[in-house]
Amino acid sequence: MDVLNVRDRAAHGAKAVVEFIERNIADGHWGPGTKLPTERDLEKRFGVSRNTLRKSLRQLEERGTITRHVGRGSFVARGPDQTENAASPPAAGDGGQGLVHRIHGASPMDVMDVRLMVEPQAAELAASRANTADLQRLEECLRGADQSHEVPDFERWDGMLHVAIVAAAKNGLLTDIYDAINDVRNQAEWARLKARSVTPQRRAVYQEQHHRVVAALKDRDGAKARAELHQHLTLVRANLLAASSVGTAAEPDAEA
């Protein structure tokens, strides 16, 4: 009987999540491209487990209602016409879409240059603005990376950690811009560079640097958090650049 009650509650919670999301979309509260509440927020709101919630989100994704991106979250899906327009070159005067298009077409080195300008400053803000939930999320990302055995798993938790740091700065515009920047990590060129550049030794160094950044944030030391993250990103950029040079030398006819 208890098992049945648990299953009934899970089914009821899953249905409530789906109805809540569909209702907000149908009512026009959430338009195409709108970011949904975080999984943590939805879990608390509906009292469901992470597995139950993800089944609900998967169901909506399969229907084409939402799209989900690792490290970024879930978004209201765009219609076929909007998807087509998004894939087309940006029209004159379409500043916002033009910027996103430029970011998605940028090289990993260009992206790293921008990250070096943006993320350390975001970390300094986060040191004073992060709440308890933000700090817990950072710790969760650290644990996930600590326990990762393969580069793709480590890279996924690495990405989520950096997203969480920017989110903790509590600046919606900065978060939206960084989401587009971080999306480049899902591109094939980035994955190839990471596979070449992230050795076990380097991964250990990266993770040690991650721990120092989070420790500074927990200590509310903005200057140290900024300096630690700048040092980390400088090293990542150097290793990516070296991997890019090796790849170019090893594949001289790649453009043929």
CA 30, CA 76: separation in Å to the nearest integer?
A: 7
Paired tokens of 195: 């596979």
pTM of the model: 0.60
What pLDDT is attached to residue 253?
36
Reply yes or no on whether the pLDDT at 256 is more than 70. no
Residue predicted with more confidence, 100 or 212: 212
Closest C-alpha among 65, 62, 90 to residue 79: 65
Classify residue 183 by its DSSP letter.
G
Classify residue 106 by its DSSP letter.
S
Reply yes or no on whether the pLDDT at 161 is more than 90. yes
Q: Which of 1-5, 6-10, 176-180 has the highest mean pLDDT?
A: 176-180
What pLDDT is attached to residue 105?
66
Model confidence pLDDT, tens digit, residues 51-70: 888 888 988 988 888 988 86
What pLDDT is attached to residue 41?
85
Side-chain half-sphere CA neighbours of 147 within 13 A: 6
Q: What mean pLDDT do residues 186-191 have?
A: 68
Question: Which residue ranges does the chain devote to CATH 1.10.10.10?
Answer: 2-83
119: burial class by Cβ within 10 Å (0-12, 13-18, 19+)?
Answer: buried
Residue 13, beta-bridge partner list: none
Model confidence pLDDT, tens digit, residues 195-237: 788 888 999 999 999 999 999 999 999 999 999 999 999 999 9
Paired tokens of 190: 């980035």
What CATH number does the domain located at 2-83 have?
1.10.10.10
What pLDDT is attached to residue 86?
41
Residue 182 pLDDT class (50, 70, 90 cuts): confident
Q: Are 154 and 145 in contact (CB under 8 A)?
A: yes
Q: What mean pLDDT do residues 153-174 have?
A: 89
Q: Of 42-51, 139-148, 188-197, where does mean pLDDT reach its minimum?
A: 188-197
Mean per-residue pLDDT over the chain, rounded: 80
* Of the options 1.20.120.530, 3.30.870.10, 3.40.50.300, 3.40.50.10540, the CATH number for the domain spanning 107-250: 1.20.120.530
